Amino acid sequence: ETLQRIVSTLANKNDEIHNFIDMLNHTIKNVQVNSSNAISELDEEFDGLYSILDEMKGSMASTIQQEEACKIQALQ
């Protein structure tokens, strides 16, 4: 009877351990998915920011070139 209780307790603990391992594996998968989503969103955000900066660069370069042309023309 004592041996049966010990075996039963060990079987229950084994089930608990397997359930805990399953829960950890599920948590790991969720962390991986969340991390991947966060990286994708970050990539999109930086791509958008780069695009805006590139447009601003073009606009500022154009303004500088126009000012240069006006100044050179005024000096000539």
Residue 66 has what DSSP assignment? H
- What pLDDT, on the 0 to 100 scale, is given for residue 53? 98
- Cα 74 to Cα 12, 37, 38, 69, 70, distances in angstroms: 92, 55, 53, 8, 6
Single-letter residue type at 50: Y
Per-residue pLDDT, averaged over 10-18, amounts to 98
Distance from C-alpha of 56 to C-alpha of 65, rounded to nearest angstrom: 14
pLDDT tens for residues 31-56? 999 999 999 999 999 999 999 999 99
Rounded Cα distance between 9 and 68, Å, is 86
